Amino acid sequence: MLFTVLIFGFRAANISHSDYQSHYDLTHIPLAKSLSGPAWPLSHTRYYFGGNETLAAISAPVKWDSMAVLTFRDETHAGTFNYLLGLPEAAKAIHADEEKFMAKGSPKMVVIGTDSSTTLP
């Protein structure tokens, strides 16, 4: 059964939505991928909020600028990923990069765990 983790990111005040997304996708993700190696999630899907003012205006308000949905094979896989990114050198590199585009105290992680879903037959 798959294991899911959500990560909510908050944009630094001095960076645009476009630059935030670009840095996250083109710099931060490759860094995290290089540090986690084969423990990288099965998928790391990012959703960005606020870049489209029309859609933001009709949406319920949210405080985050990005939501990442990380899908792992199981809890052990998620734990290995978390462990590798928590090693001192990896954590230092990740936090240094986050300071370049995320607000202080960001990101926030929510562990969902196993899921229950319904699909078309």
> Does residue 29 have a pLDDT over 80?
yes
> Does residue 99 have a pLDDT over 70?
yes
Residues in contact with 39: Cβ distance below 8 Å, sequence separation at least 6, in sequence order: 77, 80, 81, 83, 84
CA-nearest of 18, 12, 6, 22 to 53 is 18
pLDDT at 62: 76
CA-nearest of 104, 112, 96, 111 to 32 is 96
Band (92; pLDDT cuts 50, 70, 90)? very high
Run of H or E residues at 3: strand 3-9
> Does residue 100 have a pLDDT over 80?
yes
Range 29-45 average pLDDT: 98
pLDDT at 66: 95
Residue with tokens 């590798």: 84
